[in-house]
Every structure is written in structure tokens, then in C-alpha cells.
Amino acid sequence: MNNQNPITAIEAIDSIESTFHTENNLRRAHSTGVAFDAIFQPSGAAVPWTTAAHLQKTEVPAVVRFSHSSTNPNPNERLSPVKGMAVRFQLPNNTYTNLTMVNVPIFISKTPEAFIRLIQAFDSNSTWSQRIDALMHNTEYKTFGTILKELKPFRNFESLHYYSIHAYFLKNADLERQAVRFEWQPLTQNDDATSNSMENELIHKVQQGPPVRFRLLMQLAERGDATADPTIAWPDDRKLIEAGILTLHSLRTDNAESIVFDPTVTIKGIECSDDPVLHFRSAAYNESAKRRGVIKA
Ligand code: HEM
């Protein structure tokens, strides 16, 4: 790869595999986590903006997977501060749509190429000073300082906020389009951490109650807000719509290992923005899924 040529998903996953420890049968990022069956109850407040089935008024079953971003099967929870929350809304006729989010509102780079160059800069031949230099002094990664500040101390998965980072376009019955970004806002008040792992802590809370819930917020863009650049947050005063509430119900015995939470899978009433990182994720997740044996190579 050089700075001019677009990267392929194969090159991207090869770079991850040569820089980090990965396991054949696990995801090439966010390799460990815990998955639940859940119910999403839409509030109906999104109806003026979209015809999307999961954002109307009828409840929808969902699968939710929380993860540590590390590629390592035994990640140190604290040294892997980026956490994931992936949600699949299961709709009639075997259709579905995904929201695959993390606990920071912006991404480290505007393009997939710059992100993979950063991964390559972290390979075993580089020193820590070269790595810090790549992050601190390269203008491609100028959001690094902001991301560090956003990574507030955490104790568990269930009290974090998770963000789609990318914009999506909602389409309503009159075919009007509105750019939005999504956020899961935790509704859990109990912030104790009594178990030996974040996974066990969450399993315990889901089994013992009170219910573990998240509110889905949609931030509405205004004219001029960037929709194809994941490094730029929209101003805080943008209108927020409360689209519904997700309640975790029971631990999944398959841990959602065979699910690919491709964030570009959308349904009528919602479309992907032109963000190049969003589109690249689809190819990268599918390449990772092939290598871990859950879809055909
Ligand atoms: C070019 C940028 C990116 C690349 C190359 C990349 C790569 C990957 C790969 C290979 C996986 C494993 C997929 C699988 O095997 O099913 C993964 C999972 C994941 N990624 Fe990314 N990713 C990128 C950007 C992002 C962004 C911007 C977010 C958040 C908005 C994100 C959130 C996640 C989450 C939450 C998972 C775990 C999904 C699950 O539970 O299955 N990634 N990523």
C-alpha cells in the first residue's frame, strides 16, 4: 500500500494479523465479548424522519454483543479502553439491520488507508517512541488527543455511552432525507463492579435485575455538518431524538460468534452516508468473517 492507492480488505486484515496477536477462529478485532438477546421498543419519535421498520412503534427482537477492541483472546480490560456495542435488529422475512458502535464519538482517521498505516506503524519492529510519534505528530491522526480525553474511566460495559461515529441518512414517507448519528445512552444506575470480569458483571446484572437498558438517541445534522468525515463531531447543540429503548434479556449460548455486525447493512428508510471508513468496514468485516470461518471464503 502507498499513500495514493486504495487499500484492499485483504491487505488490511493481513496488516492486523502481522501487527497483533490474532486467533484463527476469532474476530480480527474486538475478538472477545459477550452477547445477549434483547428487545428494542421504539418510541415512535423517529417516525417523522424514517420509514425504517425498527424505528416505528412495534417492538423488535435484537442481538447485542459487547466487546473489548483488542484482537487478543485474553485482553487486559483496562489496557483496551475502546469497547464495542454491536446491535442487530431482527426484522420480518429474515431481514435485519446493524448498528456497530464504540464508546468514543469520533474516529482516529478520515480514511481506511490512514488507519491501516497506523496499525502498520505499530508492528513489532517499531519502538514505542516511533509509535507515539506516529500518533502525536502526524496530522492524519490529529483527533488522537480528543479521543484520549473522551475515553473516560470505566467500570463496566453497561454504563458506557456508545456512538455510531458515521452518519446515516434517514428517509421518510415523503422521501425527505435527514442525516443522523446514533448514540446508545446507558439507563443503568447501578455502577457496582463485583465480578472478576466485565463480561461476568454484565451477565450477573442481566440475570439478577434490575433490567439493563440503553436509550437510542439520534443526533440530527444541520446544514453544513460533515457527513463523510468520521473525525469531526457535530456541535453539541444539535437536536436529539429519543428513538427507543433496548432491554437486555438473556445470555446467548452461541455468544453471537457466527454473526457479522456489518455496519453497512441497512433497510428501507435508512441509508449509509458517503463516509469511506464506513464503507471499508463492510469489506474488512467480511474478510475477517471468512478467515474465522463463519462465511464462505
Ligand atoms: C477502517 C476502519 C476499521 C477497520 C479496518 C475495522 C476492522 C474490524 C474487524 C476486522 C472486525 C471484526 C469483524 C468480524 O470478524 O466480524 C471489527 C469489529 C468491530 N469493529 Fe471495527 N473496524 C474499523 C472501524 C470501526 C469503527 C469506526 C467502529 C465504531 C464506530 C468499529 C467498531 C467495531 C466493533 C464494535 C466491532 C465488534 C463487532 C462485533 O461484536 O462483532 N470499527 N472491526
Contact 12, 116 (CB under 8 A): yes
The structural domains of the chain, ordered by start, are 9-289 (2.40.180.10)
Distance 62 CA to ligand 1 centre (A): 19
Mean pLDDT of 236-259: 98
pLDDT tens track for 167-198: 999 999 999 999 999 999 999 766 666 788 99
Which atom of ligand 1 lies closest to the CA of 65? 40
| Packed helices 112-121 and 276-291: angle between N→C axes, nearest 10 degrees | 60
Least confident of 53-62, 72-81, 235-244: 72-81
> Residues for the chain: how many in total?
297
Alpha carbon distances (Å) from 170 to 52, 181, 239, 272: 8, 10, 15, 9
pLDDT tens track for 197-243: 999 999 999 999 999 999 999 999 999 999 999 999 999 999 999 99
Dihedral sign, CA of 206, 184, 37, 40?
positive
Which atom of ligand 1 lies closest to the CA of 33? 40
Residue 244 to residue 159: CA distance in whole angstroms: 17
Which atom of ligand 1 lies closest to the CA of 115? 1
Distance 30 CA to ligand 1 centre (A): 7
Greatest pairwise CA separation for the chain in angstroms: 56
Contact 287, 242 (CB under 8 A): no
Choose among 116, 92, 171, 156: nearest CA to 2.
Answer: 116
Choose among 80, 90, 91: nearest CA to 197.
Answer: 80
Q: Which residues line ligand 1 (CB under 6 A)?
A: 12, 27-30, 33, 65, 67, 84, 86, 100-102, 107, 112, 115, 164-165, 260-261, 277, 280-281, 284-285, 288-289, 292
Residue 35, pLDDT > 60, answer yes
Residue 152 to residue 244: CA distance in whole angstroms: 25
Q: According to the model, what pLDDT value does residue 64 have?
A: 98
Pocket test for ligand 1, best of 8, 27, 31, 88 (most atoms within 8 A of CB): 27
Looking at ligand 1, which residue's alpha carbon is closest to its atom 37? 30
pLDDT tens track for 141-176: 999 989 988 888 788 999 999 999 999 999 999 999
Q: What confidence tier does 126 reach under pLDDT thresholds 50, 70, 90?
A: confident
Residue 7, pLDDT > 70, answer yes
What are the beta bridge partners of residue 179? Answer: 169
Distance 107 CA to ligand 1 centre (A): 12
